[in-house]
């Protein structure tokens, strides 16, 4: 049986997980692909650093360059994370013509175009299944399984920390801060937790998926990102009473070359019949969203991830599983190692290129132009005329109100007032809320959460 030698950079949680998975199932993988993947060297930060699985001391080195430059190493894995030294490591391996497997979403989000160009220039490949949603094979599905589909929409619960927090807030009626503190104690949230709860981790992943789905590299700065800090137990309670569950969603919607408008007679987005331009416009966003309880994404709980994909030919599909952790990530890395080994065996290192730009005129739609429905919570002074003043501002902005709820049992200087709004652009709603927030009867900052009905 043919053998390829693997040089690993990173022997911590993920790296040792990959090593352990290879020891456990390397023989099975070899029997399936006809190539044995053998670990030759593992570069680590320290020989005695804590790791969930042990790596033989004879395989470890503190010098990552000795791994990359070893002529006996055929494939390199980068499992150190970050965007600094990791970029240097990956480029060094690619320049030697060696295929690289990475799980580094932040690196790809920041430097993907450069790394893919380097792989093409030096006649090798970059594999990155593990960079998005751990054990869910969403990268391969978009690149290969759905190659004959236009991706009309993609909705992803892609951050397990946020999903865990929102699930517990719903099930227990607990406040955000209390659940976050407990999540940190249990190891489900980092300290500090900003990367997760402010939506940036999800943005890295959703940017990669948007680029693959629509054929132009999405600049991370163009992605609209909101986290879950402002979501309260009160919002989750009222959403539940209305038949919704709040989830942090990464949303990718193809608008094509037809401008979305609001059809006032049907209260739904409608495409104009005339073509405005020839650009592929795509909404790429991360924000908390009200999901109907009847939709499958509403039942994805705790640390699990799910990606809902709508193709123009295949229709609706769902991918579900663990999105992080040493074992789920190791499974995805092994999948990439198998592909890299097969490509080396066949003598074709770029059988499936890492990224092919095929929609160069594409552009990310500004969030102000995106169309949605909305859940709004205002704290108001309970006096006659308050609702009329608020409704007048919405009316002037041509934003329709679907329903209004003023819950009983709330007393004090201010009470919550809940609005469900018809379809409108984000720009129109935010403009109206700025005016409403200046009314003397409004106490505190208005809370706006978008509603997704997957139409």
Give the strand pairing for 447-451 and 281-292: parallel
Residue 405 contacts residue 238 (beta carbons within 8 Å) = yes
Helix (H) or strand (E) holding 417: strand 415-425
* Beta-carbon contacts of residue 344 (< 8 Å; ≥ 6 apart): 4, 35, 74, 75, 99
CB-CB neighbours of 162 under 10 Å: 28
Residue with tokens 């790809």: 108
171-174 — which CB contacts under 8 Å span 24+ positions? 173/233, 173/236, 173/237, 174/233
CA pair distance 188, 201, nearest whole angstrom: 14
b/e for 292-318, b at 16 or more Cβ within 10 A? eeebebbebbebbbbbbbbbeeeeeee
Q: Where are the alpha helices (DSSP H) in 245-375?
A: 326-346
CB-CB neighbours of 3 under 10 Å: 11
Query: In this structure, what token pair is assigned to residue 74?
Result: 């055929």
Q: Based on the number of CB atoms within 10 Å of its own CB, is 4 exposed (0-12), middle (13-18) or buried (19 or more)?
A: buried
* Beta-carbon contacts of residue 431 (< 8 Å; ≥ 6 apart): 397
Using DSSP, state whether 324 is helix, strand or coil.
coil
Residue 254 contacts residue 365 (beta carbons within 8 Å) = no
Distance of CA 178 to the CA centre of its chain: 25
Residue with tokens 């000795």: 66
Using DSSP, state whether 225 is helix, strand or coil.
strand
CA pair distance 441, 387, nearest whole angstrom: 10
Helix (H) or strand (E) holding 213: helix 200-214
CA pair distance 398, 305, nearest whole angstrom: 37
Catalytic positions, please?
Answer: 205
């Amino acid at each position: 049986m043919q053998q390829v030698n693997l040089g690993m950079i990173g022997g911590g949680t993920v790296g040792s997980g990959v090593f352990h998975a290879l020891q456990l199932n390397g023989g099975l993988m070899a029997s399936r692909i006809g190539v044995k993947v053998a670990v030759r060297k593992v570069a680590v930060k320290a020989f005695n650093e804590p790791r969930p699985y042990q790596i033989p001391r004879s395989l470890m080195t503190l010098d990552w360059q000795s791994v990359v430059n070893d002529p006996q190493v055929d494939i390199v894995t980068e499992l150190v994370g970050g965007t600094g030294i990791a970029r240097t490591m990956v480029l060094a391996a690619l320049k030697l013509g060696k295929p690289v497997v990475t799980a580094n979403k932040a690196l790809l989000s920041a430097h993907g175009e450069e790394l893919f160009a380097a792989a093409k220039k030096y006649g090798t490949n970059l594999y990155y299944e593990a960079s998005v949603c751990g054990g869910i094979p969403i990268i391969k599905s978009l690149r290969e399984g759905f190659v004959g589909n236009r991706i009309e929409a993609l909705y992803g619960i892609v951050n397990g920390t946020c999903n865990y927090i929102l699930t517990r807030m719903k099930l227990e009626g607990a406040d955000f801060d209390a659940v976050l503190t407990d999540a940190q104690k249990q190891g489900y949230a980092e300290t500090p937790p900003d990367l997760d709860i402010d939506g940036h981790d999800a943005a890295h992943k959703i940017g990669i998926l948007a680029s693959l789905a629509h054929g132009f590299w999405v600049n991370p700065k163009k992605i609209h990102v909101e986290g879950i800090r402002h979501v309260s137990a009160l919002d989750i309670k009222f959403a539940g009473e209305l038949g919704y569950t709040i989830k942090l969603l990464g949303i990718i919607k193809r608008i094509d070359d037809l401008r979305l408008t609001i059809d006032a007679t049907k209260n739904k987005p409608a495409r104009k019949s005339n073509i405005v331009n020839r650009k592929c416009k795509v909404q790429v966003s991360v924000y908390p969203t009200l999901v109907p309880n009847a939709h499958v994404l509403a039942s994805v709980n705790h640390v699990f991830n799910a990606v809902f994909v709508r193709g123009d030919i295949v229709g609706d599909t769902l991918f579900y599983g663990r999105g992080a952790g040493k074992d789920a990530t190791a499974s995805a890395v092994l999948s990439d190692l198998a592909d890299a080994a097969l490509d080396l065996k066949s003598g074709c290192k770029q059988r499936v290129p890492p990224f092919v730009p095929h929609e160069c005129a594409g552009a990310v739609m500004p969030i102000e132009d995106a169309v949605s429905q909305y859940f709004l919570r205002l704290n108001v002074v309970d006096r006659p005329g308050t609702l009329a003043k608020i409704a007048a501002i919405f009316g002037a902005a041509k934003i329709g109100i679907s329903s209004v709820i003023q819950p009983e049992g709330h007393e004090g200087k201010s009470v919550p007032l809940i609005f469900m709004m018809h379809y409108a652009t984000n720009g129109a709603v935010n403009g109206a809320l700025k005016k409403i927030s200046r009314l003397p009867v409004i106490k505190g900052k208005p809370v706006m959460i978008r509603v997704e009905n997957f139409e």
